[in-house]
Amino acid sequence: MGEYETLKSVDIISPMVPEIVERGRFVYCSDGKFRATVKLDTVYVDGPWINVNVCQERNCFLWHKVYFMLYGIISRNCFNCWKVVFRPKTLDDLILTYRMQLEDKEKPACKSGVERRESSSFKGANACFWYAPLGSNPVLAQEFHKKIEKKIHHLLGVDNKVILKRGCTEMEDAAGPSERWFYPEEQNVFEDLLDDAWEEIHPLLNSEPQALRNVIMMRWIGWAVKNRDKTAEKYYDSLASFGVVPTTVYHDKKKELVSTPMTSKQRREFYAAEKKLILQ
C-alpha cells in the first residue's frame, strides 16, 4: 500500500472539515480530541420524541450522526443494537402506549413520538421504541420483544403488530438487510482511532423537561390533525387553534352573506356602461 493510501486509511479529519469549518458543530482540539460545541446536557427542542427512559450505555448521537452519517461506517456497537418497534394506529393509541411506558416498573429504555421520516419499511404515522440492553444476542432480544409485545396486546389488542429490529432504519437502507451485515476486521483499527479521538457525546443525558414534553405532545396532536386522525378531535376545541377554519358549505341551507361585491368582470362592464352614457 502506498503512503497516500496508508494515510487515507487512517484519515479521521477530512470527513469532519465541513462540520467544523462551515457548520461549527464541533471543534478539533490540540489534544487530538473532537468536541461538540454545545453543552452535553443540551436537549433538542424541535424534535418529535419523548424519551421516557434514556439508555445511558448507548452513544447514538456519535455512532449514528457521526460514525455512520459522516464517516460512512456502521459502528460495531450498532451490530449489537436490538430494538422493539410498535406503530400506534391512532393518536389515542400513541398516548396510551406512552403512558404505559411511563408506568412500566421495569423502566426499559424507551421513547414515543411521531414518525416524520418520509419513508420507512415498517410504516406508520406514530412510533414507539424499546431498546434491549446493548450487546444482547438475538435470543435475549427475542425474549425482550415477547415481553413488550405481550404488554401491547394486553393494552390495545392482539391485532397490533410489534416487531424486533436490528440497528437503525437508515443503516439498513444504506447497507441492505441487517442479517447480511458484515463487519470488516480492518474497521476495528479505524473505529479504535475514532473512539480515541472523540469525547463521549450524549446530547440527552436525561429525559426532556416537563415543559418540553408538553410542547412535544402538542406536536403529536398537530401531526394527528395533519394525518386526518379522527381520534385527535377529542384533544382540541377548534381547528382554528391550528390555523384551520372548517369549510363553509352552502348546499343544504340558505346563508345571509355580509358582503357580495361585484366581480372584476361585472365591475369592468359597469364602468364601461357608465362611460358610454357620459359620452352620449
Percent of the chain with pLDDT over 70: 93
Specify if 269 maps to a domain.
Answer: no
Residue range of the domain that includes 204: 3-226
What pLDDT digit, counting tens, does each position of 234-266 carry?
A: 999 998 999 888 888 888 878 888 888 989 999
**For 46-101, what is each residue's pLDDT tens digit?**
889 999 998 888 888 899 999 999 999 999 999 999 999 999 999 999 999 999 99
Max Cα distance, the chain (Å): 98
Residue 249 falls inside a structural domain: no
The 10s digit of each residue's pLDDT in 123-161 is 668 999 999 999 999 999 999 999 999 999 999 999 999
CA dist., res. 27 & res. 36, Å (int): 6
- What are the C-alpha distances in Å from 272 to residues 150, 167, 181, 260, 261? 77, 73, 77, 20, 17
Sequence-ordered list of residues with C-beta below 8 angstroms from that of 75, at least 6 positions apart, any chain = 63, 67, 68, 191
Q: How many domains does the chain have?
A: 1
Q: Is residue 205 over pLDDT 60?
A: no
Class of residue 56 by CB neighbours under 10 A (exposed 0-12, middle 13-18, buried 19+): exposed
Residue 233 located in a structural domain: no
User: Is residue 245 situated within a structural domain?
Assistant: no
Is 95 contained in some domain? yes
Question: Within a domain: residue 246?
Answer: no
Distance CA(33)–CA(27), nearest Å, equals 8
